[in-house]
Amino acid sequence: MTFIAIPEWTPHGLLPPIDARSPTSATRSPYSVPLLDVVMRFSTTAPRRQILSGLMDYRAAMHDIGLVAGMQWLDGSFMEQVELLEARHPRDLDVVSFVHTPSTFAPSAAGCDVLDNEKAKARFRVDGYFVGLDELPPRNLVAHSAYWYGLWSHRRNQAWKGYLQVDLDPASDVLARRWLARYDASTTET
């Protein structure tokens, strides 16, 4: 997988949807980045670190029920400078998980909580949705991708914006969680 750096904010406090210097290049949203880069870039305040910790726990719960292959799109006010745009902290992180479901997939009832949007939002501060990569015919997969791209590539005020993509592989979580824990231990900010 090829990763790129997370682009800098636009003057409007958003991730750019495209590379303005080369608008037809493949460098565009969703930007495929390492999970560690997300944690390093967005752990700027205690509320953001709490949300990132929730994301890490959400991913661990997914991994625990066998969802380990795929990718996640990360968006919402968390991916914006909402502190400047709306004078508030982000409340949660919007996540669409595009997952390969193992043939032996049979989570317990408790394990299914991660698949329930309302329960995931309350427990992990993740507004989470799923698209099964193995169950959908190609036409439907394209329709789902277009839906999420169309929904997430704009703010409610119609401003065009970018968002990020991370791999679901559990191996990437170890360093990201370690970095987040080290950051939390070294700061007393509330």
Give the pLDDT confidence of 52-108 residue by residue, as tens digits. 999 999 999 999 999 999 999 999 999 999 999 999 999 999 999 999 998 888 888
For the segment 169-183, the average pLDDT, to the nearest whole number, is 92
Per-residue tokens: 35: 């999970």
pTM assigned to the model: 0.91
> What contacts 60, CB < 8 A, 6 or more positions away?
170, 173
Band the pLDDT of 37: cuts 50, 70, 90: very high
pLDDT at 127 over 50: yes
Where does the pLDDT of residue 142 fall: very low under 50, low under 70, confident under 90, or very high at 90 and above? Answer: very high
- For 170-187, b/e burial (b = at least 16 CB within 10 A) is eebbeebbebbeeebeee
